[in-house]
A and B are shown apart, each in its own frame.
Chain A
Amino acid sequence: GAGVSQSPSNKVTEKGKDVELRCDPISGHTALYWYRQSLGQGLEFLIYFQGNSAPDKSGLPSDRFSAERTGGSVSTLTIQRTQQEDSAVYLCASSLGQGARETQYFGPGTRLLVL
Chain B
Amino acid sequence: AQSVTQLDSQVPVFEEAPVELRCNYSSSVSVYLFWYVQYPNQGLQLLLKYLSGSTLVKGINGFEAEFNKSQTSFHLRKPSVHISDTAEYFCAVRRAGYGGSQGNLIFGKGTKLSVKP
What residues make up the interface of A, taking CB atoms closer than 8 Å to B?
4, 31, 33, 35, 42-45, 48, 50, 55-56, 59, 91, 93, 97-109
What residues make up the interface of B, taking CB atoms closer than 8 Å to A?
32, 36, 41-46, 49, 51, 90, 92, 94-110
**Contact at B90–A31, with CB atoms within 8 Å?**
no
In-complex Cβ contact of A106 among B41, B45, B49 (8 A):
B45
Query: Which residues of the partner chain A approach B92 to less than 8 Å between Cβ atoms?
Result: 43
Query: Which residues of the partner chain B approach A35 to less than 8 Å between Cβ atoms?
Result: 104-105
**Contact at A45–B51, with CB atoms within 8 Å?**
no
**Contact at A107–B43, with CB atoms within 8 Å?**
yes
Count how many pairs of residues, one from A and one from B, have CB atoms less than 8 Å apart in the complex.
Answer: 71
Task: Using A100-B32, A100-B94, A102-B99 as known contacts, say yes or no to A59 and B43 having CB atoms under 8 A apart.
Answer: no
Q: Which 6 A-B residue pairings sit nearest by Cβ, starting from the closest?
A: A56-B101, A43-B107, A106-B43, A45-B104, A99-B99, A106-B44
**Contact at B109–A42, with CB atoms within 8 Å?**
yes
Query: Which residues of the partner chain A approach B49 to less than 8 Å between Cβ atoms?
Result: 103
The residue on A at minimum CB distance from B110 is A42
Task: Using A43-B90, A43-B107 as known contacts, say yes or no to A55 and B43 having CB atoms under 8 A apart.
Answer: no
Query: Which residues of the partner chain A approach B32 to less than 8 Å between Cβ atoms?
Result: 100-101
**Contact at B104–A56, with CB atoms within 8 Å?**
yes
Query: Which residues of the partner chain A approach B102 to less than 8 Å between Cβ atoms?
Result: 56, 100
Task: Using A101-B32, A101-B51 as known contacts, say yes or no to A109 and B98 having CB atoms under 8 A apart.
Answer: no
In-complex Cβ contact of A56 among B51, B97, B100, B105 (8 A):
B100
Report how far A33 CA is from B46 CA in the complex, Å. 15
Report how far A100 CA is from B42 CA in the complex, Å. 24
The residue on A at minimum CB distance from B6 is A42
